[in-house]
Amino acid sequence: MSNSHMTMTLAHAVREGRRFWGSEDGVALWQAQRACLGPLCESRFGSHSLQLGMASRLTDMCPIRHAMSWAPTRALAQDDATLVCDPSALPLADESLDLVLVHHLLEVMPDAHHLVREAARVTRDDGLLVMMGWNPFGADALGHLSPANRRRWPCKGHWRRSGRLREWLAFVDFEIDRVDYCGFRLPGGHIHNLGLETLGRRYNLPFGGCYLIVARRKKIPVQPLRTSLRRDSMAGNWLGPAALHRDHGGRSRHATHAHDDRMAEVD
């Protein structure tokens, strides 16, 4: 897909998406998502954050100083802190953001895995990558399966289960820290059901209309193997050659030689 075609496709999706998020149902769902995201954002500090999506900024309660939004064209930019670009090729340095929120954009991206790769690339080692999407097992999935409803927002696009995103994140060395659900309602019901929302959030039932995935960069465990070997060698030199052949704790001479051979292989 050419860049111009990509821009036109995304611009159309953004206009449709903003109409939905400005509707009564969209505002109610946005508020439910904000309540779900709030505890996570309120504890995040740093210099830069980015929200990739169509809705109003959800990270405004975050104490991160410089919060950016995204738009596919300059005409759709809503403020001066808007990044206008192809979201699968972000003009940002590696590991430059403390928080990246991908908000219902994966469903409409032609190459969604490229967006995941870019979002991971610009997230700091100690930063958070958060993704919100439509839950294919929620009440809204019935509308998504209907051919008539698939032509309207938010039922357009490709809804992905959290397990698929876990696989994509693994390829970019990220792992899911937690998955939360929100936007609970009965099929055909309203999102304004605060009792159902409270119950679903309390037990984190996997039937909410949306999921919230929190991912972090994988930590590579440090094993100070060579340091311990060096200490063993120093101990052997200090105690003398005879100590290397001493049977500690009933260990046989054969086992001692095998241990020494493994040490030599590591070195």
Residue with tokens 């119950």: 199
Average pLDDT value for residue range 235-242: 40
Neighbours of 197 (CB within 10 A): 21
Mean pLDDT across the chain:
82
- Looking at residue 194, what is its pLDDT? 85
Q: Tell me the pLDDT tens digit for each residue of 51-106.
A: 999 999 998 888 998 999 999 999 999 999 999 999 999 999 999 999 999 999 99
- Looking at residue 187, what is its pLDDT? 73
- Looking at residue 221, what is its pLDDT? 66
pLDDT reading at 190 higher than 80: no
Q: Which pTM does this prediction carry? A: 0.80
The amino acid present at 199, given as its one-letter code, is L
pLDDT reading at 3 higher than 90: no
Q: How confident is the model at residue 144 (pLDDT cuts 50, 70, 90)?
A: low
